[in-house]
Amino acid sequence: ARAQEDYPFTGEWECDGAPFVFTSTVYSIGDDSYNVQEVQEGSDSSYTLFLSDDVYITLSEITSDTLDFSSSESDRTMSCRRY
């Protein structure tokens, strides 16, 4: 397992005006936090963070200061920028 700071998505992001935090162990929006059960790296350099058996988020198009966020709970994709 990699140290969490090695993941390119680790850190604080603003997605559609809301504060998001992604690490290899925790995903949070504002005051709501969720434990990350597993991180899977995709062949396209995206990452899927599994919060439970059927709930996950996907982080894609990751650069040093932007990424795209999508969730299994919503069909919307948000553009995020690093704080």
pLDDT the model gives residue 53:
82
Cα→Cα distances 53→26, 37, 60, 67, 83, Å: 16, 9, 20, 24, 30
Q: Is the pLDDT of residue 4 over 50?
A: no
H or E stretch at 29: strand 26-29
The answer on pLDDT for 61 being more than 70 is: yes
Direct distance between the N- and C-terminal alpha carbons of the chain, in angstroms, rounded to an integer: 26
- Per-residue CA distances from 54 to 1, 49, 51 (Å): 22, 11, 8
- What does the pLDDT read at residue 6? 79
